[in-house]
Copies of this chain bind each other. A is one copy, B any other.
Amino acid sequence: MTLIVQKYGGTSVANAERIKNVARRIARTRDQGNQVVVVASAMGDTTDELLQLAYQLSEKPDSRELDVLLSTGEVVTSTLLAMALHSMGYPAISLSGAQAGIRTDSVYSRARILQIEPRRVVRELDKGNIVIVAGFQGITEDLDITTLGRGGSDTTAVALAASLGAEVCQIYTDVEGVYSADPRLVPEAQCLGEIHYEEMLELATYGARVLHPRAVELGELFHIPILVASSFTENPGTLIHGGVSMEVRNKVRSIAYDLNVGKITVVGVPDRPGIAAAIFSPLAKAGINVDTIVQNASIQGITDLTFTVVKSDLARAIEVVKPLAAQIGARECASDEKLGAVSIIGTGMQNTPGFAARMFSTLSEKNINIQLITTSEIRITCIINAAEVQEAVRALHRAFEIEEE
């Protein structure tokens, strides 16, 4: 029998009716002759409501207690899903993350899965049960409950699929799949039939919120195909896997964007060793993630150092950098918070020239000024004015003829 792991997101289980709908989908998968393991998210806004309660009681809630509190949301959904399946005549059992053997480190609120001991899951599958596992949570060696942080339930699902040797991990959500661009910006954007792990990783990091990069990484590492699809429709969704056909690969697959980019430029820096470390070590210590770093060519031993951060970190980053800039003898420290990023992504890019040139000329034709450029093997990102991001995404989607796929 084929084993399938399915994960249902918070909006898919937001109320009793939707939970029944999800139960019917699970039952159908079972009727098709599969063993089914389901990973459940917390219902709708449950997690936010619990967080709100916590912050009413403490300005800075203890992270161990917060994890125990938040973990209850997924437990509630998994028992309700099991009950719904029972009432349809299907054998089912809910397991907490702990019972499902999801062992993590003890970094509360963003724990990492160390290991899965799926004995109980396997035993219940062998008994003929549909097994519903509470997502987003695990347990430490000391039997304390942890949560996995952003994208936690996706990670639970893919990790379970890997440890159980599942055929596929299906992530059901409120969107149809992975699009060639955000359909709100580009009406002609298409839902992709398939996409390579690497492309999805770049997409997840550079704009698309469909699936967390952690889950994609795990899928690639353990060769688990991941289907992203809607729990509200019968559309086929997007399959993320490593075997995407050559023809499809030789293309730009998707345009990603991000409107939350802040930029800091340290102007007139003496170009000598150790300067970068003097700036970026204190930022790292302050817990500020730096995305893109560009250093201009040095002219007469003086250079400019520019980097970007998430807009919400910009104010804190400036506080850290200003005194450092003075110390190292820089002329000034400028910042801009009205920036965005636009990226073209596709594994086809890595062996084919001309993508960058076409991207830059497309933006140039629209009179869009490029402030910074960064690239990976399968991605080119331009930092531009936030106000021009929408126009840039549309123009690039047309220029690379993604809609004709």
Contacts and interface: CB of A to CB of B under 8 A. Distances in A.
A22 to B, nearest CB: 11
A261 interface: no
B54 A82 contact: no
Contacts of A61: 83, 86
A233 interface: no
A133 B68 CA distance: 12
Given A16-B53, A57-B16, A143-B99, A76 B72 contact: yes
A361 B81 CA distance: 60
A395 B82 CA distance: 54
Interface of A: 16, 19-20, 23, 50, 53-54, 56-62, 64-66, 68-69, 72, 75-76, 78-80, 82-84, 86-87, 93-94, 96, 99, 143-145
Contact of A75 (B66, B68, B94): B68
A360 B20 CA distance: 59
Contact of A54 (B69, B83, B96): B83
A295 to B, nearest CB: 44
A141 to B, nearest CB: 13
Contact of A72 (B16, B57, B72, B82): B72
Q: Is the interface of A mostly helix, strand, loop or mixed?
A: helix
A87 B58 CA distance: 5
A206 B87 CA distance: 38
A68 B79 contact: yes
A123 to B, nearest CB: 10
Contacts of A87: 57-60
Contacts of A94: 65, 68
A86 B68 contact: no
A72 B66 CA distance: 14
Q: Give the residue among A54, A57, A94 with the most B Cβ atoms within 10 A.
A: A57
10 smallest CB-CB distances across A and B, nearest first, come from A58-B87, A16-B56, A72-B72, A69-B79, A58-B83, A65-B79, A57-B84, A57-B83, A61-B83, A65-B82
A46 to B, nearest CB: 10
A57 B94 CA distance: 15
A391 to B, nearest CB: 47
Q: Give the residue among A82, A99, A144 with the most B Cβ atoms within 10 A.
A: A82
Contacts of A84: 57-58
B58 A79 contact: no
A235 B145 CA distance: 38
A69 B68 CA distance: 15
A68 B74 CA distance: 11
A109 to B, nearest CB: 13
Given A57-B20, A65-B82, A87-B59, A76 B50 contact: yes
B57 A19 contact: yes
Nearest to A86: B62
